[in-house]
Amino acid sequence: MAVLLHRWGVFAVRRCRTVLTVWLLVVTAIAALGVAFAGSFDSRSDIPGSAAQSALERMDHHFGSSDRQSAEIVFEAPEGSSFEDPGNAAALKRTLSAAATVPGVTSVSDPMRGRTVTPDARTAVAQVEFSVSKDEDVPADDLNALRDTAAGSRAAGIEVLFGGDAYKESSPPVGPMEGVGVLVALAVLAITFGSMLSAGMPLLTALIAVVASMTGLMGLSSVLSVSDKAPTLAIMLGLAVGIDYALFIVSRHRSELAQGRSVKDATARATATAGSAVAFAGLTVIIALAGLTVAGVPVLTSMGLSAAAAVAVAVVMSLGLLPALLALAGERLRPKPGSRAAARMRDAADPMGKPSMGARWVAGAVRRPWRVVITVTLALAVLALPATRLQLALSDDGSEPTSAAVRQTYDKIGDAFGPGANGPLMVLVTNAPAGTLKTTGQEVAQDLAGVQGIARVSPVDYSGDGAAARVQVIPDTGPRDPATAELVTVLRDRVALLAARNGGDIAVTGQTAVSIEVSDKLSGALLPFALVVVGLSLLLLTAAFRSIAIPVKATVGFLLSVGVSFGTIVAVFQWGWLAGPLGVPSTGPIASFVPIIVMAVLFGLAMDYEVFLVSAVREEYVRTRRPHASVIGGARHAGRVVTAAALIMVAVFASFLFSHDPAIMPIALALAVGVLVDAFAVRMTLVPAVLSLLGHGAWWLPRFLDKALPDLDVEGARLDETDAWGVDSTETEPETEPETEPETEPETETETEPETETVPVTYLHAPK
């Protein structure tokens, strides 16, 4: 891999303007096609073919189903009165009549006739249907006109709330607050490099990658089902890894320049070495995200593949576009003699130089390794304890901010009709033996009336074709309450007995039952997916570092980081700790897809830091054969870059907390905390202490595994063993350097360099 990337780096330098032009044309074409053929994102979260979903489709077939946008109007009479009072009833009718005349409205239900009124007749709910299809937004003017029809009722003292799907606020994947994360990333890059030009390059390539991936998703949404949560996740990950991956390559490039390399040679070396590690790290993230498809849940598959595509684009931009940009920048990226950047790089290369803060931190961990291992492990285990109380459910209108119209109507309906009114269940009877449909329907209603956990059971409703019957069941608890999921299990067992006794098909369905089914499917997939991720971690790191101890240590550290991130979201989003300052709209069960997505993403990011830090340690160990000194030496080379990368990740992820999207906020917080813990507590503290304790044993690998495993050569260990540096078949072409480089730069590259190379070359295993 490193040899191929080196050749690409040489080509990108020589044809930098051509490479840049081609990439810009490709991105422009993707953006233009994506915008021109943009579709709409899907808000559904069902499992095609599942029991509840299949029953729901049968119910829609027999009873009919609307594919139009709808809204709810909730009326509440003044204290001490009801809608049985003539004045309130007249005001209600006037509002309903006016609502029916609003442009785009096709029907308005009467609560008094449709039995959507509380027993005390104080609260009533009307359903409004629009001519707009469900996958489109109702025009704002029509929604405002519908709101205006409540003026008469409000004048009579009646409280009127408007909600439902039509009033759901659709927000863009990113907003102004997410820009704060980008600004923080720019500040970290500027401090790290001491150069605004160097700092701007990772941001530029990351933003180009985000534009390409987002517009591509927009175009694909016209032919594929793409979840409406997928774009936000794709942007969050694409931006974070895009900045970090480019940071690693630019940092290596400047280090090579500081050692006196030419622009061409520095670019090629950075692309080959840091680029190989970027490709490996990105591949782990992509594999983990693509692995989300094994759960068999379309919404999770969509989010996983969209995020994987965004990461893939970020990797391609870092490897394909960035070398050309480095060549165009030329000598301007070379640290000036006497500058702080040059001094830091000199100190990093000199064991006797001034150690960085990261190196001093690692030295402290190596000095007392047993104390560090015990303290850090116990501390992280305690922080992970809340994860044992993790509860999962799919989000609904009750997860929205209290200021949202849909949340206000949700709460009002729950207060008036009971929490279960926001998530009714349906029991459907079909294929009953001839002449037994009515009898079976009545028996179902009578049997369910005595079940604990049910607030009320509606009268049996028969379809117009006489082939189906249904009974509506209102639970005592809300749709996200674990008790509701337990009730669904009880109902399925009871209706199975009724079906066996009476014949026909009897199923529990409804949107709440479908959501519970999806949540159960996701919860069941979490442990198998964790085992796959752990196995993948062990395999990849064993092949990369030719070691048994390194993969085991890395996997244990990853599990600790995941535990802490899960514990954090339980404490914040379930228990309400710091919910106010963080702007959490509501507390309750975590969205079912959050843990498995966090695990997939955090696995890839943890492997990033493991590769970049441990490979630097490995380089020092191969050179000195001194285990303790190599740990500190590796921190000299990689500590500053890993620290900067982690701070950028945390800033980007934390900025998405301000989106106040109930589905995205837990992911953003979990990833921000997970990266913070993994980079600093695990990789920069626990890992050096463990390596110090293991000594030479950290790099032991049985011979049979050494022969069986592929040699990934992540950091270019074989570059000096090939003609990649020495003989370049393309040297017959005249070299065209960028205009920004001085004319006095040597035209001959590494052919004239002595074999006793003084520039550090990172080895992942000892040269043979």
HEC-encoded secondary structure of 50-83: CHHHHHHHHHHHHHCCCCEEEEEEEEECCCCCCC
Tokens of 155: 């004048």
Q: For 626-642, what is each residue's pLDDT tens digit?
A: 887 888 877 777 777 88
**What three-state secondary structure class fits 589?**
coil
Work out whether the CA dihedral 27, 28, 34, 35 comes out positive or negative.
positive
Q: For 391-418, what is each residue's pLDDT tens digit?
A: 888 888 888 888 888 889 999 999 999 9
Q: For 592-625, what is each residue's pLDDT tens digit?
A: 889 988 988 888 788 778 877 887 788 778 777 7
Q: For 208-245, what is each residue's pLDDT tens digit?
A: 999 999 999 999 988 888 888 888 889 888 988 999 89
**The pLDDT of residue 20:** 93
Q: Mean pLDDT throughout 537-552?
A: 80
**The pLDDT of residue 349:** 55
How many CB atoms neighbour CB 353 within 10 A? 15
Q: How far apart are CA 514 and CA 507, in angstroms?
A: 12
Q: How far apart are CA 2 and CA 719, in angstroms?
A: 7
pLDDT above 90 covers a percentage of the chain that reads 36
Q: How far apart are CA 594 and CA 598, in angstroms?
A: 6
Q: How far apart are CA 477 and CA 431, in angstroms?
A: 31
Q: Mean pLDDT throughout 478-484?
A: 90
Q: Mean pLDDT throughout 340-348?
A: 57
Residue 740 has pLDDT above 80, yes or no: no
Q: For 299-328, what is each residue's pLDDT tens digit?
A: 888 988 999 999 999 999 999 999 999 999
Q: Mean pLDDT throughout 378-400?
A: 89
**What three-state secondary structure class fits 591?**
strand
Per-residue pLDDT band at 282 (split at 50, 70, 90)? confident
**What three-state secondary structure class fits 455?**
strand
Phi, psi for residue 753 in degrees, rounded to 5? -85, 145
Residue 739 has pLDDT above 80, yes or no: no
Residue 725 has pLDDT above 70, yes or no: no
**The pLDDT of residue 766:** 36
Q: Which residues contact 551 (CB under 8 A, 6 or more apart)?
A: 537, 538, 539, 540, 541, 542, 545
Tokens of 163: 């909600």
Tokens of 595: 């843990």
Residue 17 has pLDDT above 50, yes or no: yes
